[in-house]
Structure formats: structure tokens, C-alpha cells
Amino acid sequence: MQNARVTFAVVHGLGEHGGRYGRFARGMAAHGMATYAVDLRGHGESAGRRGHVDSWSQWIEDAAAFVEQVDKESQGEVIPLGHSFGGVVMLSAVRSGRLKRARRFIVSSPALRLTKEVPAALDVASKALARVLPKLTVGNNVDPATISRIPEMVEAYRTDPLVHSKITTRLYAEWRRACAENLAHAAEIRIPFLILAGTDDRLIDPESSRELHRKAPEMSELRMLEGRYHEPFNDLGSDEVFAIISEWVQKQ
């Protein structure tokens, strides 16, 4: 969409890719807003070992370079948006000052804490493995049925050849550290942001989004989406979510 006054720069979640945000793009186009989406390294059509980064900073750099490129190609305001793992990346990028031109941003179901926490012994073991076997790959345990209440969306995820179910020990350790840092330092965020979270998310704990908002009450607006699963853009009632985003954009 040329000459849009607002363009979203979308960073996806773990194991998926930017091509899955067509529904979001169409939904926001109905409100006169454009969308670009990226494939982070190790995902989608991008190069790199599936589900791996050597350092969380690599994804921060990926996101920052992507937002900068979208900014060059857009005439209006660019609003970065991160979903799930991408939401954690976006929080890290903002906190580190890498999104210098962004005036505001959005996180959707930010993956700050799992609904079912990893047992403490396994968590400690995974951190040790991240040092000695950083590229050891395990399943990410994402159940496709948790992403949406729309059977067709679940099946599309399940059969998408660009979706993978992998995570390395290093990425797991880097993600856990990034989550802790973002929650601990959320009050340092100095630009407005919108938090979207489904109350029935069975993958990421909705309470972690509430905690994020409590730690940055002046800069954040929290919208808890009743009954929604992990992917509010691909779930029942998505038109309402698109309207919420549009309202927030215009209000800001």
C-alpha cells in the first residue's frame, strides 16, 4: 500500500515466519495502514541454522536493520510490532536504543513466560548445555492447537513447510535472559507501546503481559483480549483486534 500514513514492521515468533502475517496485513489495510514482515535468521526463507542464534543481540540487529529498511521505503510513520518471541526481541531493541526513529511500538502475546514453566533442574541443565553444546537442537514444544480457535489456521500452521519446531540450547538460554532483563528494566522504556494478550493463551502466560504493563504503566497500554489464543491476528474476533490497533494508532 503506497503512501500509507502508517506502516507496520512486523517481527514474527519462534518457529514461524513473516509470510504468516497476511491476515494481519489485510486487516490493517482495511484501516488504511500498510504492513511489512521479516524472516529472522534461522527462520522462514532467511539463512541460518533453524531455531538458533549465537547471541540475542543478533536478532536485535536483524530487527533494527529491518525496521530501518522499512522506514526508508515508507512515507508515513513506521510502527514496529513484535509477536511472541518477536515481542521480546522488540522490547530488547527498544531498550537498547536500536530503534532510534520509532515513536511507539506494539507487542503481541510477548513470550515473557511460558504457561507451563520448565522444571528448575531442566532449566539449569539447559543453561549448562548452552555453554558446551550451544547448537544442540530440541523441539520447541509448540502445539499448533494453541495458536488459534480457527481449525483452518491451525492446519495451515501444521502444514506450512516454512514453519519449524526447533530451538537450540543457546537460543533458549538467550531468550530466558532477555525475558528477565526486559521485565526487570521495563520502566526504562521511554516511548509508548501497546500490549496485546489473549486471556486464554495456552502457550504464553497472559499474566506476564500484565506484569510488563505494571512495570511500565506510564508508557504502556494493555489490552487483554477475552477468550483469544496465542495468535490474536489469526484467531476468532481478529477484526476487533485490528480495530483496537487502529484506535490506539489514531489516539496516540
- 96 counts as catalytic: no
Q: What is the DSSP letter of 185?
A: T
At residue 49, the 3 state secondary structure works out as: coil
Q: What one-letter code names the amino acid at 192?
A: P
CA-CA-CA-CA torsion for 192, 197, 203, 206, nearest 10 degrees? 90
Residue 9 CB-density burial (10 A; 0-12 exposed, 13-18 middle, 19+ buried): buried
The runs of H, that is alpha helices, within the chain are 22-29, 56-73, 85-95, 120-132, 151-159, 169-184, 206-215, 238-251
Q: What share of the chain is helix, strand, coil (3-state, %, to 5)?
A: 45, 15, 40
Q: C-alpha cell of 192?
A: 509508548
Q: Catalytic residue among 84, 109, 220, 238, which?
A: 84
- 220 counts as catalytic: no
CA 47 to chain centre: 19
Question: Which of 108, 65, 70 is CA-nearest to residue 86?
Answer: 108
- 185 counts as catalytic: no
Q: Catalytic residue among 39, 201, 205, 235, which?
A: 201
Residues designated as active site: 84, 201, 230
